[in-house]
């Protein structure tokens, strides 16, 4: 049976459910005696039943009208609510109006009725009716350019990061009520920023003395005190417009400051430091694919301007019900941790967190590579790591990653943006990491994300050894953003949201896309972008045959081709011995048709062994061929007297480091360096069959590079295309006959 509630009982129920409690930034409450006049609407005597009025009027307000539960909603009741909404709209951009009798509810979004749940929810549910999916990015881009130009050319601030910090400090001041307005003198303008800045975090200095760094850096910025009043007015107007857009709760977690910092960074001169700001849509993507939630404790140990921390804070607070909840304060002050080594970038991070009014007390100015940083990380209850560490080795990229992985709790998910080949280059070191952590996923990012560097997201689980577990990899080839002249990369066609949803689902399910690969950690530590290898053609076999003929005739290959080029272009004399080479043979080459060829595993045709290193200082004088990482002279780089590691003749040497894929038939005993794999045939071979294999192997080598070596283990499992005999085995007879039919084969 339905219990009839009085109007006072309904009002009390609404107070509790909506959580209409005042804070330092909001007037909120319920009652019958408080007039609009008392709430700041001069001369208005009407009295709402409940109100939620933020100090910042571009945030949505809420007005409540209650009735006893025996009152049915009619025109009179609706008209009373609409009147109060109209009053509130004289001051606020948007207003939620709620008509409630304890059981029935009607909700108005400004003056239009909204389709909402049938039961009363917390106020954040209704305030989020005005959450906007897209901010005016074009406006942010134009304001950023205007601010940069004003500070650079009128305020004469030469350093880019000083311009960013000065702007950020002005935004902090604006956020905390600094009276910045047109017509202010230069002295009043700068003093207002400095004093408001100091006051905004004075209470936090006892918790984190390093916040003083922000004030210190601001004070060090050199300005042109004689800049015009128009310049001051222009800067204040632009900062005010930016400030009006900074409300992460209102913009569904889309961070205006992240967009602002990234756009500002485009004006960086080549001589300025290599700090790279992570694009806003990528911070959002990483938050989601790591399954980060409001219950996590997030670390960024190379936090830069604080983009990952702010994004996490925005999303976590939204999940918790909005910026006005108790959980929001708890999240901001206890669940976000950042480390930054660069003093000026650290100041920028402090400013960014202050702009968002919280999260600032857990930033540390220190070197993330150090033991002290490791102790600090270990002392925190970190559950997720989201990072874009500096890519360059000189800034200790992998040292930072290693220190984080070693000091977070077992089971912590750690996601790092790194250059695609970063782990491949340091594979020995990384494989040591994998004895105590697991590389779970590699998501290759679009090539345009970071100019000049192709990157991937590497997701680890700390404290759990890799073992034989394979790594999930995939390639998100595009993000939908396009480069706009003088405005950077933008989502002008609104494609990213759909792309993000698709890829979050693919990565969570680990299925559903053709780019997905499962790779073995002992073979690769990066996404293996597919390389289409064309089938070998006649010219490939002729080139390999000619190279072997020149070697057998003791003719220098480079000198030979230089002489041919000069003869052809300038009519110079050819060396006499070239005649028999250029005349070729009287045999007509056989037709080469690769249709019907099949792929065979190298390891089932050859025994593959790695060569042995021999330093220059250890090499003795002698006549034994020393085969190294060379593309010429059959791979022979020296002659030595060392005879304790000699490889037998009638084998193939294949370089896997340096001149990758250069394959040579060795018909004399030789020493192969550790850059070379030795292929000993498991079948009867001669020089003709060997040259056929050398050509096919070299052709296949386009898949590999310096950072993706064709190691012994990988080579054994590599598949090469070969002609097939009727028995389904390689057609060795055809291989021999084909090479013999080529013009230069008569020379050896």
Q: What DSSP letter does each residue of 362-431 carry, written as one string?
A: GEEES-TTSHHHHHHHHTS---EEEE----SGGGTHHHHHHHHHHHSPTT-EEEEEEETTHHHHTHHHHH
Q: Are 196 and 178 in contact (CB under 8 A)?
A: yes
User: What pLDDT is recorded for position 486?
Assistant: 63
Percent of the chain with pLDDT over 70: 91
Average per-residue pLDDT for the chain: 87
d(Cα 398, Cα 412) in Å, to the nearest integer? Answer: 18
* 531: phi then psi, degrees, rounded to nearest 5: -110, 120
Q: Are 624 and 671 in contact (CB under 8 A)?
A: yes
Q: Between these two residues, 121 and 730, which has the higher pLDDT value?
A: 730
Q: Tell me the three state secondary structure of residue 571.
A: coil
Whole-model pTM? 0.64
Q: Tell me the three state secondary structure of residue 607.
A: strand
Grade residue 357 by pLDDT with cuts at 50, 70 and 90. Answer: low
Q: Report whether pLDDT(281) > 60.
A: yes
Q: Tell me the three state secondary structure of residue 677.
A: strand
User: What pLDDT is recorded for position 349?
Assistant: 83
Grade residue 268 by pLDDT with cuts at 50, 70 and 90. Answer: low
| Residue 279 burial (CB count, 10 A) | 21
Going from the C-alpha of 222 to that of each of 197, 218, 239, 411, the distances in angstroms are 18, 9, 19, 47
DSSP code for 154: I
Matching residue, tokens 């995939």: 474
Q: Is the dihedral of CA 554, 557, 562, 565 positive or negative?
A: positive
Distance of CA 329 to the CA centre of its chain: 28
Domains recognised in the chain with CATH numbers: 7-130 (3.90.1570), 137-519 (3.40.50.150), 540-747 (3.90.220.20)
pLDDT tens-digit series, residues 182-217: 888 888 988 888 888 777 666 665 555 556 787 888
User: What pLDDT is recorded for position 560?
Assistant: 85
User: What pLDDT is recorded for position 276?
Assistant: 63
pLDDT tens-digit series, residues 216-263: 888 899 888 888 999 999 999 998 888 876 654 444 445 566 677 767
d(Cα 116, Cα 107) in Å, to the nearest integer? Answer: 7
């Amino acid at each position: 049976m339905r219990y009839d509630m009085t109007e006072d009982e309904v009002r009390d129920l609404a107070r509790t459910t909506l959580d209409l409690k005042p804070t330092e930034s909001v007037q909120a409450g319920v009652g019958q005696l408080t007039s609009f006049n008392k709430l700041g609407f001069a001369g208005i005597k009407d009295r709402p039943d409940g109100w939620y009025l933020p100090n910042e009027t571009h945030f949505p307000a809420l007005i409540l009208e209650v009735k006893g539960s025996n009152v049915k909603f009619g025109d009179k009741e609706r008209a009373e609510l609409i009147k109060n909404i109209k009053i509130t709209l004289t001051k606020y951009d948007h207003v939620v109006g709620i008509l409630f009798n304890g059981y029935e509810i009607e909700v108005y979004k400004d003056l239009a009725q909204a389709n909402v749940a049938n039961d009363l929810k917390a106020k954040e549910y209704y305030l989020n009716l005005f959450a906007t999916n897209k901010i005016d990015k074009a406006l942010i881009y134009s304001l950023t350019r205007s601010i940069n130009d004003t500070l650079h050319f009128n305020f004469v601030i030469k350093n880019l990061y000083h311009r960013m910090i000065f702007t950020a400090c002005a935004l902090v001041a604006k956020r905390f009520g600094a009276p910045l307005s047109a017509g202010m003198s230069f002295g009043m303008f700068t003093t207002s920023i400095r004093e408001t800045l100091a006051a905004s975090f004075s209470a936090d200095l006892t918790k984190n003395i390093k916040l003083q760094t922000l004030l210190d850096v601001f004070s060090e910025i050199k300005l042109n005190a004689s800049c015009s009043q128009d310049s001051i007015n222009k800067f204040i107007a632009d900062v005010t417009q930016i400030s009006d857009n900074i409300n992460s709760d209102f913009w569904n977690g889309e961070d205006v400051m992240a967009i602002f910092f990234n756009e500002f960074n485009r004006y960086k001169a080549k001589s300025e430091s290599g700090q790279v700001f992570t694009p806003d849509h990528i911070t959002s993507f990483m938050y989601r694919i790591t399954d980060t939630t409001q219950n996590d404790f997030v670390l960024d140990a190379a936090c830069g301007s604080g983009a990952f921390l702010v994004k996490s804070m925005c999303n976590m607070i939204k999940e918790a019900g909005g910026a006005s909840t108790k959980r929001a304060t708890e999240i901001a002050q206890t669940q976000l941790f950042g480390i930054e080594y660069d003093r000026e970038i650290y100041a920028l991070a402090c400013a960014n967190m202050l702009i968002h009014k919280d999260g600032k007390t857990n930033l540390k100015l220190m070197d993330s590579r150090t033991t002290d940083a490791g102790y600090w990380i270990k002392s925190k209850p970190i559950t997720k790591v989201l990072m874009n560490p500096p890519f360059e080795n000189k800034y200790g990229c992998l040292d930072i990653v290693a220190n984080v992985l070693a000091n977070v709790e077992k089971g912590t998910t750690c996601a790092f943006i790194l250059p695609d080949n970063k782990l491949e280059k340091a594979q020995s070191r990384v494989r040591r990491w994998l004895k105590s952590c697991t590389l779970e996923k590699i998501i290759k990012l679009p090539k345009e994300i970071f100019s000049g560097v192709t990157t991937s997201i590497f997701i680890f689980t700390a404290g759990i050894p890799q073992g034989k577990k394979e790594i999930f990899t995939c390639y998100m080839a595009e993000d939908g953003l396009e480069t706009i002249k003088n405005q950077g990369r933008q989502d002008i066609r609104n494609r990213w949201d759909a792309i993000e949803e698709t890829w979050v689902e693919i990565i969570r399910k680990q299925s559903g896309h053709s780019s997905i690969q499962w790779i073995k950690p002992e073979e690769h530590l990066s996404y293996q972008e597919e390389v289409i290898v064309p089938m070998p053609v006649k010219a490939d076999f002729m080139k390999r045959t000619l190279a072997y003929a020149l070697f057998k005739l003791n003719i220098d290959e480079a000198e030979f081709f230089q002489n041919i080029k000069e003869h052809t272009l300038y009519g110079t004399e050819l060396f006499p011995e070239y005649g028999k080479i250029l005349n070729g043979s009287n045999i007509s080459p056989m037709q080469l048709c690769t249709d019907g060829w099949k792929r065979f595993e190298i390891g089932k045709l050859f025994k593959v062994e790695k060569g042995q290193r021999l330093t220059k200082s250890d090499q003795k004088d002698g006549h034994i061929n020393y085969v190294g990482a060379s593309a010429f002279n059959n791979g022979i780089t020296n002659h030595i007297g060392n005879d304790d590691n000699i490889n037998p003749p009638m084998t193939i040497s294949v370089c896997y480091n340096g001149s990758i894929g250069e394959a040579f038939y060795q018909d004399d005993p030789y020493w192969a360096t550790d850059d070379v794999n030795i292929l000993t045939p498991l079948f009867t071979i001669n020089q003709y069959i060997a040259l056929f294999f050398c050509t096919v192997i070299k052709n296949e080598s386009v898949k590999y590079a310096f950072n993706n070596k064709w190691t012994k283990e990988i080579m054994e499992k590599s598949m090469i295309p070969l002609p097939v005999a009727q028995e389904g085995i390689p057609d060795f007879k055809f291989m021999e006959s084909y090479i013999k039919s080529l013009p230069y084969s008569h020379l050896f």
